[in-house]
Structure 1
Amino acid sequence: MLNVLWSGMILSGILWAAVHGRLDQVTQGALASAKEAVSLCITMLGVMSLWTGILEIGRGAGLIERLSRTMRPVLRFLFPHLSPDSEAARQISINFIANILGLGWAATPAGLKAMEELKKEAEGSGHGGFAGDPVTATTDMCTFLILNISSLQLIPVNMIAYRSQYGSPSPAAITGPCLAATAASTIAAIIFCKIMGRKK
């Protein structure tokens, strides 16, 4: 559906420019946008490499493991049926820590591993039915997905990089509003998950 929408918008834009004799402006705009896209990708690659490297240093120094242990009370509250010593809990902790630091790129692999571990636990508890049957999403899986989408962030690295790239005089000014918005979305997500969990 998105392919149809994007194709329609592109074709309608080209046709509109052709009717009004502005195809040269469309061509110039496309070339300028392509140049900006490459420049932005290089900027984001540098930011990603920096913060992912910091995360790996923290992992190697044992900081991530310590933060994971610190998060155990939070995990017990959010995932009461999940063992805090399980691999799933560890990957969920890494995912949350990376998201809080604004490292969405580093959070994704941990999130996928966490969902795989939750799926294994669901299969072990019989949620998948017979062998080969699809696993029914458990409460823990739904809770993790919703919290991962709400994504509390202390440092919005992506937005700061975008604002810096486009010449903002104060790129980090977005930090406060972003923290407030993501905190509100995370609180709403927790309340929703708890309400739906009780209904189930």
Structure 2
Amino acid sequence: MVNIIWAAMAITGIVYAMFNGTMDKVNEALFESAEEAVTLSIGLISILVFWLGMMKVAEKAGILTFLSKLFRPIIIRLFPDIPKDHPAIGYILSNITANIFGLGNAATPMGIKAMEQMKELSGSDKASRSMITFLALNTSSLTIIPTTVISIRMQYDSVSPTEIVGTTIIATLISSVSALLIDRFFYYRSLRRK
């Protein structure tokens, strides 16, 4: 559906430019945007490779293991219908750890694997309680180091690209807590209806 909306907006803009006589400006903007997108992507790749390397160093240093042990009791309480030693717990922990470091691209494959494991565990095509909780938690994603945003700010020559770290921590902490509270509210509300 989103693809259809974007296509309709693009076609409407092009048709309007044809009738308005500004097709040359549309072509100019199109090529400038394409060049800027490629430049931004290449810049982002270098920053993401750096942070993925840092994540590998953190893994070798045992920081990720420490974070996994730190978050494990919380995750087990948040997902009580998943057995403690099930692979889904490991994928959930990896996803949350990657999101904490602002590596959404690295977190996505782990999130998909966690969802697959939870779907297999529930044995149903409907979203289970754990799947809904994980989706809410993953969408709000607590972030300590917003790597991608910092790299975009660096690409556009921000005077202080890291000044958003404190704000990001506060905003994502509030969004994560809110997501969990809303998730639990609707879960317990649905239990009362039954």
Query: Is the pair's TM-score, using the shorter chain for normalization, greater than 0.5?
Result: yes
1:196 aligns with 2:186: yes
Spell out the pairing of 1:82-121 with structure 2 (5 A cutoff).
82-121=82-121
Structure 2 residues without counterparts, runs of 5 or longer: none
Identity in percent? 38
Native 8 Å contact 1:99 1:107 kept in 2: yes
Q: Who is 1:10 aligned against? A: 10
- Do residues 27 (structure 1) and 4 (structure 2) align? no
Q: CA deviation at 1:193?
A: 1.7
Within a 5 Å distance, the mapping from 1:70-81 to structure 2 comes to 70-81=70-81
- Which consecutive residues of structure 1, in runs of 5 or more, have no partner in the other structure? 129-133
**Which residue in the other structure is 2:168 paired with?**
178
Give the distance between the partners of 1:58 and 1:177, measured in 2 at CA: 24
TM-score normalised by structure 2 residue count: 0.89
TM-score by length of 1: 0.86
Partners of 2:139 and 2:160 lie apart in 1 by 27
Larger CA deviation: 46-55 vs 35-44: 46-55
User: What is the CA distance between 1:95 and its match in structure 2?
Assistant: 0.6
Counterpart AA for 2:171: A
Structure 1 residue aligned with 2:135? 145
- Note the C-alpha offset of 1:57: 3.1
In the alignment, the residues of structure 2 paired with residue 21 and residue 121 of structure 1 have an alpha-carbon distance, to the nearest angstrom, of: 59
Q: Give the total of aligned pairs.
A: 190
CA distance, structure 2, for counterparts of residue 79 and residue 3 of structure 1:
34
Could you tell me whether the CA contact under 8 Å between 1:164 and 1:171 is conserved in 2? yes
Which whole-Å deviations, capped at 9, do the CAs of 1:132-187 have from their partners, x for residues lacking one? xx3x3211111011100111111111111111112221211222222222111111
Which amino acid letter does the alignment assign opposite residue 163 of structure 1? R
CA distance in 2, matches of 1:18, 1:66: 60
Q: Which moved more, 1:78-87 or 1:184-193?
A: 78-87
Separation in 2, partners of 1:61, 1:87: 23
Deviation of 1:109 (Å): 1.3
Q: SS of the counterpart of 1:81?
A: coil
- CA separation of 1:21/1:137 partners in 2, compared to 1, >3 Å: closer, same or farther? closer
1:61 is displaced (CA, Å) by 4.1
Instruction: Name 1:131's counterpart in structure 2.
Output: none
- Counterparts of 1:198 and 1:96 in 2: how far apart (Å)? 24
In structure 2, C-alpha distance between the alignment counterparts of 1:9 and 1:91, rounded to whole Å: 38
Classify 1:4/1:72 alpha carbon distance in 2 versus 1 (closer, same or farther; 3 Å). Answer: closer
Do the aligned partners of 1:75 and 1:84 also contact (CA within 8 Å) in 2?
no
Tell me the residue number matched to 1:160: 150
Q: Distance in 1 between matches of 2:172 and 2:39?
A: 28
